[in-house]
Amino acid sequence: MRKLISTGSPFEKTAGYSRAVVQGDWCFVSGTTGYDYATMTMPESVEVQTRNCLATIAKALDDGGFAMADVVRAHYYITDQSHVEAVFPILGETFGDIRPAATMIVCQLNKPEMKIEIEVTALKRT
């Protein structure tokens, strides 16, 4: 059974995507940036953006019946190599014990204020 998860972001409708898609025991969470969806603002610091990404992802997983501990794959996209030192400890707080397969890529993102985007895949633990 397929279930679509939405955060209510206007970007989901405009760009035609779901925050997450649940298919059976799998949950695929779209690339998530650091917007504060309560205020629809982007914080300046990469640290706050990272924490916002993780909070949005955690909520999407929870809405789909999953937990962060179910994450088996993570892709991290950052806009500057200098962000690595700031982001690693925050990622470690969340994924240090979970230890999903992960990749970090330095690239441009859709808007200049975006400094990080995180995408995860989760598999329900049995």
Task: Please give the pLDDT value at position 8.
Answer: 80
Strand order across the beta sheet in which 101-106 lies: 2-5, 20-23, 26-33, 116-123, 71-78, 101-106
CB-based burial label for 124 (10 Å; 0-12, 13-18, 19+): middle
Among 82, 74, 125, residue whose Cα is nearest residue 104: 74
Whole-prediction pTM value?
Answer: 0.94
The beta-strand segments (E) located in 1-126 are 2-5, 20-23, 26-33, 71-78, 101-106, 116-123
User: pLDDT band at 7, cuts 50/70/90?
Assistant: confident
User: pLDDT band at 10, cuts 50/70/90?
Assistant: confident
Task: Please give the pLDDT value at position 38.
Answer: 84
